[in-house]
Structure 1
Amino acid sequence: MTNNPPNVYLPDMATIVEVVQETPAIKTFRVVLNSEERMRAFHFEPGQVGQLSVLGVGESTFVINSPPTRKEFLQFSVMKVGELTGHLHKLKAGDQIGVRAPLGNHFPYASMKGKNIVFIGGGIGMAPLRTLLLFMLDNRADYGDITLLYGARSPRDMAFGYEVEEWLQRNDMRTVLTVDNGTPEWQHKVGLIPNVLKEINPGPENTVAVTCGPPIMIKFTVQALQELGFDDEQVVTTLEKRMKCGVGICGRCNIGTSYVCKDGPVYTLAQLKQLPAEM
């Protein structure tokens, strides 16, 4: 059960408590709802999203990429790509922001218990995966082997570097990093994510693959997973960037009869294949 404001069209006002420069184009905002009561009662699931709004500019959808097991703040990571995200990037600690959340469905973490999990993230697509990954690490005994394959165009485009080093050192998960273009200092793999995925060769037995990234990356990652023997029910992704109003009113996020903001943003590949071929 989610704890939404009385009117889902009205945002909660929140204070930015910290801004983290992840990459030249990505900033992470850690926010706390101004209402202490709302913040204490706020409940969300891994994979749910929120609408961030700037007064007089507009709002847009971003995944809540802090896990529900760590509730001292809500975290959103924003890539600067347009007018609204440009305004967001100008904000600093102490500034006010609107938050409508939580919205959408979530990763099926309950049905993943006891299974091996393969995370495959590209660029800013690591944000929703981070939520589920941290949730699973905080409930480590509930899950089998955990593998993370995280890639970016270059080392400077890799977000969450302060956590990546920790993940590399953990003995209860496997972390593989790759970039399209390496540097002399880069000590990890160089290559496209789908190719590296086939190289590390995760087995499909009792395994779920969760992937997010640029559409072209997802397309070829799915093909690689199929070559490795994963069936459609074993592949999960999220389409939150297609969401608009977040509550199924505007009709701009529909794929056939499915509304991403109400039926998603999380889908299995099997569910996506039931939708019209407009992906």
Structure 2
Amino acid sequence: MTSLPNPYLPDMATIVETVQETPNIKTFRVRLDSEARRKAFTFQPGQVGQLSVFGTGESTFVINSPPTRMDYLQFSVMRAGEVTAALHRLNAGDRIGVRAPLGNWFPYESMKGKDIVFIGGGIGMAPLRTLLLFMLDNRKDYGRIRLLYGARSPEDMAFKAELPEWLGRDDLETVLTIDREAPGWEHRVGLIPNVLREMAPPAGNAVAVTCGPPIMIKFTLQALKDLGFADGQIVTTLEKRMKCGVGLCGRCNIGEKYVCVDGPVFTYEQLKELPNEL
């Protein structure tokens, strides 16, 4: 009988590649050191992992590579504190700890046959990326797929190396936008909620999946409601103060829910039932 890995102990992993996405966002592609664990490791789109910088601490980040592409696990990290600053100092060949997978995932099974509208802002594109690539790798299972990705400026957009491919696909409608005009920018200019209203995706047989800064989410939710999306048709993902990752420390609780266990993925319908602590 094979025992499950101890969720309190990280697997050792090696960084195989890094990508400097923006001045303050760095992507890490990591591979578990144990061949047995690599072969046994599975996860679902939207699940998260804890990355450990030994001697500094650990923080939670979404696995933003899809389970259909398992050459490595990808995490994109915005530099915002002690642990993330320590991560940003690491490079290919350095070793870290990985505790994963944790939390729930996007309800991709119930999305089959539906049109999908992705709305990402800044680093909020990271969790959307895993579901987007998963759906593109299973394209026949889903209807029309639209992506609206925005940032303050071109320099603040992550995953730049992938944007030409997304823009060029016949089976994906991609709209890029920045908050204000910038030299050489050839795409939309405007705040994400305003551009979303202009796109006006039909709500009839659709699911909207959104992630980004809280102020963006607030006005994006209103735009989606104005476009006719019901609360249960809107899905988002949270990363609220997750620490232990197993629902023990209580740091990420919202009422009776724990983001690390009951989330990080919630429908807007579920969020409306929680105390207003976000």
Alignment TM-score, normalising by the size of structure 2? 0.98
Alignment match, 2:251 = 252
Alignment match, 2:97 = 98
1:88 aligns to what SS in structure 2? helix
**How far does residue 4 in structure 1 lie from its aligned partner after superposition?**
9.2
Question: CA separation in 2, counterparts of 1:181 and 1:5?
Answer: 50
- Structure 2 residue identity aligned to 1:139: N
How many residue pairs get aligned? The number is 277
Question: CA separation in 1, counterparts of 2:123 and 2:181?
Answer: 18
Question: CA separation in 2, counterparts of 1:128 and 1:37?
Answer: 27
Alignment match, 1:176 = 175
Question: CA separation in 2, counterparts of 1:103 and 1:15?
Answer: 20
Structure 1 residues 249 and 160 mapped into 2: Cα distance closer, same or farther (>3 Å)? same
1:49–1:240 Cα contact (<8 Å) kept: no
Question: CA separation in 1, counterparts of 2:40 and 2:3?
Answer: 10
**How far does residue 277 in structure 1 lie from its aligned partner after superposition?**
1.5
Q: Deviations over 1:7-43 (max 9, x none)?
A: 1100000000000010111000000000011011100
**How far does residue 240 in structure 1 lie from its aligned partner after superposition?**
2.3
Question: CA separation in 2, counterparts of 1:143 and 1:6?
Answer: 34
Alignment match, 1:140 = 139
Question: CA separation in 2, counterparts of 1:4 and 1:181?
Answer: 54
Q: Deviations over 1:220-249 (max 9, x none)?
A: 100000000000000000002432211000
Question: CA separation in 1, counterparts of 2:26 and 2:240?
Answer: 17
Runs of 4+ in 1 over 4 A off after TM superposition: none
Question: CA separation in 1, counterparts of 2:99 and 2:3?
Answer: 8
2:240–2:259 Cα contact (<8 Å) kept: no
2:162 aligns to what SS in structure 1? helix
Question: CA separation in 1, counterparts of 2:104 and 2:114?
Answer: 21
- Structure 1 residue identity aligned to 2:161: Y
- Structure 2 residue identity aligned to 1:247: V
In angstroms, what is the RMSD of aligned CA positions?
A: 1.1
**How far does residue 113 in structure 1 lie from its aligned partner after superposition?**
0.1
**How far does residue 183 in structure 1 lie from its aligned partner after superposition?**
1.2
Question: CA separation in 1, counterparts of 2:144 and 2:57?
Answer: 42
Question: CA separation in 2, counterparts of 1:205 and 1:69?
Answer: 29
Identity %: 74
2:119 aligns to what SS in structure 1? strand
Q: Deviations over 1:163-219 (max 9, x none)?
A: 111000001010000001221200001110000000110010110000000011001
- Structure 1 residue identity aligned to 2:93: G
2:240–2:252 Cα contact (<8 Å) kept: no
1:240 aligns to what SS in structure 2? coil
2:45–2:66 Cα contact (<8 Å) kept: yes
Question: CA separation in 2, counterparts of 1:114 and 1:260?
Answer: 28
1:141 aligns to what SS in structure 2? helix
Question: CA separation in 2, counterparts of 1:182 and 1:243?
Answer: 36
Structural mapping, 1:34-49, within 5 Å: 34-49=33-48
Alignment match, 2:190 = 191
Alignment TM-score, normalising by the size of structure 1? 0.98
Tell which deviates more after alignment, 133-142 or 158-167. 158-167
- Structure 2 residue identity aligned to 1:245: C
1:5–1:12 Cα contact (<8 Å) kept: no
1:163 aligns to what SS in structure 2? helix
Unpaired segments ≥5 residues, structure 2:
none
Alignment match, 2:116 = 117
Alignment match, 2:30 = 31
Q: Deviations over 1:232-269 (max 9, x none)?
A: 00000000243221100000101000111111000000
Alignment match, 2:268 = 269
1:212–1:238 Cα contact (<8 Å) kept: yes
1:4–1:102 Cα contact (<8 Å) kept: no
Question: CA separation in 1, counterparts of 2:161 and 2:8?
Answer: 35
1:147 aligns to what SS in structure 2? strand
1:46–1:68 Cα contact (<8 Å) kept: yes
Question: CA separation in 2, counterparts of 1:147 and 1:160?
Answer: 17
